[in-house]
Amino acid sequence: MRKKRAATGLAAALALTAAGVGTGGAAEARTATGTTGTTGALTGTLNGAPYVVDVPPQWNGTLLLWNHAFDPGVSTAQDADPDHAEVKAWLLAHGYALAGIHYANVAYPTPEAVGADLALLTWFRAHVGRPTTTLVWGRSLGGQLTAQLAERAAPAFDGALPMCGETAGPTANFNALLDAAYTLNTLVWPTTPVQIAHIGEPDANQAKAIGQLMTAWQAPDPRTRARLALAGALADIPDWADSLAPEPTALGDRVDNLVAYLAYEVPGFLWGSGRADTEARLGGNPSWNIGVDYRTQLASSATRDLVAQAYAADGAGGQAALDADLTALNGGPRVAPDAGAVAALAVQGSITGRIGVPTLTLHDTGDGIAPVGNERSYADAAARTGRSGLLRQAFVARANHCFFTGAEELAALQALIARVGTGQWPDTGAAALNTAAGAFGPDYRQMWSYFQEGTATVPSAFVDTRPAPFLRGPR
C-alpha cells in the first residue's frame, strides 16, 4: 500500500503466467541521443501497461527496475519510490538508469506482473542498451514481486532489494489475516458475523465490519478490548503505529495502536475488495484455519505479552477469561479452503527461498501490514534451500509499513551494489548501515506520521534483530 495517502481516521480515531513480451505502443515523451544511446525521460505502453524509463546523460551502465506498491488509486507508472523524490534525483545524478511498469494492482505478485517486468527489460535492451548490471527493487507488493523475481527470473538480474514485502508468501499472510477476522467473528461480534471468505458485496461487508470494530474499539468493556488485542496478536500485528513516536508502553496505547492497523490498514484484506478480488482471480478461497491451535499460536506471537496484560486488566477476567476465549476459538466452526485456489496461489505467488541472486531485504520492525516475522520466515526458507549466503537482511526500528527515510533506502542500495560489484557482502550490520545513511543530509532523513502534522528530520534507525518466524509462515 502507498503510505502517503490521506490520513483518514488513524490520528482522529486514536484521539477519540508471464505475459508475452511485446514491443507495440511505445511512445517516447522525450528523447536525446548521447554517448550512451537514448537518454532522458521515456514513457509508453507495453502490452497495454504504461511504463516510464529515465536514463541520465552519463549513464553508468546500471539499471534499477522498480516494482510499485499495491494502490488501486494509482494507474501511472513509477520508476522509483514515489515518496522519496530525493532518492530518484540522487540515483540519476550518480548515473543510474531507472525503469518501472505499472502491473495490475492485485494483492499478490501475479504472473502478469512478472511478465510485465521482463517485457520492460527486453524493451530497454532494444531501445536504450544492454545494462552491465541490472538490479530489481520495490516495496510492499513490489517487495514481494522483487523477491519472487530473485527466484523465478534470476538470470535477468544481478541483485535484488525487496523492501517491506510479505516474503513469507501471500498464502501465509492471507491465513494470518483470516485468523484475525475469525477471532473477531467468534469473540467480538458472534451474533452479527461478517463474511471472512467467499465474500460477496465486499464494500457492504467491509463497512459492516468496520462499524462493528469501531463500536468495540470505543467500548469501555476491558474484556472486549482484550479480545481485540487477541485478534491482532494472532495475526502478528504489532502494537506500534506512530512512525514518529517511540514504541508505546501503556496498555491502552498499545491496544489502540494495534487496533488502528485492523481498522485502517488491512480491512480490505480482512473483509473487502482486496480479499474478494483475490478470490475471484483464483477461483475460490485460498486460506483456511482448519487444524490451527490458537493456544499454541498465541504462545508464539510477538505481542503475547500485550494479550496477557489486556486480559489481566481490571474487569477483563484474567487468565481464566483468556483460557475460555482460546477454547472458544479452538472449538468454533473452521474455514475450509478451495483446493484449486490454494494450488493456484501457490503456483502463481509463492516465495520459496530459492534465491538466485544477491538479495538484501529492508523491513520496519513495527510493520502492521507485512509483519516483520515475514523476514525470519524468508531467511529460514533460504537456509532450507541452501541459499543463505545470497541473503542479507536489514531492519529499521520504526512503526508502520514501508516507513523508511531516503537515506535508509540509499544505504541499503549501496550495500547491495557493493555486493554485486565485488562479489562479497560488505558489512550490513546496523552500525555500518547507520553510518552510511548518516552521510546523507537532512533532506534525505525526513519522516512523517499519520498521527502528527508535518515532517521531522530523524536519525537513521537501523537495528540488529532476529524476529520470530511469522505465525502462519512456512516451517
pLDDT digits (tens, 9 = 90+) for 369-381: 999 999 999 999 9
Closest CA to 194 of 301, 207, 453, 303: 207
Confidence of residue 152 (pLDDT cuts 50, 70, 90): very high
Strands 32-34 and 49-55: unpaired
Query: Above 50 in pLDDT, residue 4?
Result: no
State how far the Cα of 79 lies from the Cα of 188, in Å rounded to an integer. Answer: 43
The mean-pLDDT minimum among 18-27, 60-69, 344-353, 383-392 falls in 18-27
Q: Across residues 204-233, what is the average pLDDT?
A: 97
Mean pLDDT of the chain: 91
168 phi and psi, to 5 degrees?
A: -75, -10
Q: Residue 475 has what pLDDT?
A: 67
Q: Residue 8 has what pLDDT?
A: 35
* 3-state DSSP of 382-433: HHHCCCHHHEEEEEEEEECCCCCCHHHHHHHHHHHHHHHHHCCCCCCCHHHH
Ordered by start, the domain boundaries in the chain are 10-169+353-463, 170-344
Residue whose grid cell is 528530520: 457
Confidence of residue 13 (pLDDT cuts 50, 70, 90): very low
State what percent of residues in the chain have pLDDT above 70: 92
Confidence of residue 93 (pLDDT cuts 50, 70, 90): very high
* Choice between 27 and 352, residue whose per-residue pLDDT is larger: 352
Return the DSSP state at 236: T
- Cβ–Cβ < 8 Å for 228, 188: yes
The mean-pLDDT minimum among 31-45, 186-200, 310-324, 377-391 falls in 31-45
Q: Residue 439 has what pLDDT?
A: 97
Confidence of residue 92 (pLDDT cuts 50, 70, 90): very high
What string of DSSP letters covers 64-80?
A: EEEEPPP-TT--S--SS
Give ∠ CA 406-409-412 in degrees, rounded to 5: 150
Q: Residue 90 has what pLDDT?
A: 98
Q: Across residues 243-264, what is the average pLDDT?
A: 96
Q: Across residues 252-267, what is the average pLDDT?
A: 96
Q: Across residues 242-257, what is the average pLDDT?
A: 96
- Cβ–Cβ < 8 Å for 52, 88: no
| Half-sphere exposure for 340 (CA within 13 Å, toward CB) | 6
Q: Residue 12 has what pLDDT?
A: 36
Q: Residue 36 has what pLDDT?
A: 41
Query: Above 60 in pLDDT, residue 238?
Result: yes
Which superfamily, per CATH, for 10-169+353-463?
A: Alpha/Beta hydrolase fold, catalytic domain (3.40.50.1820)
Confidence of residue 34 (pLDDT cuts 50, 70, 90): very low
Q: Residue 452 has what pLDDT?
A: 87
Q: Across residues 118-126, what is the average pLDDT?
A: 97
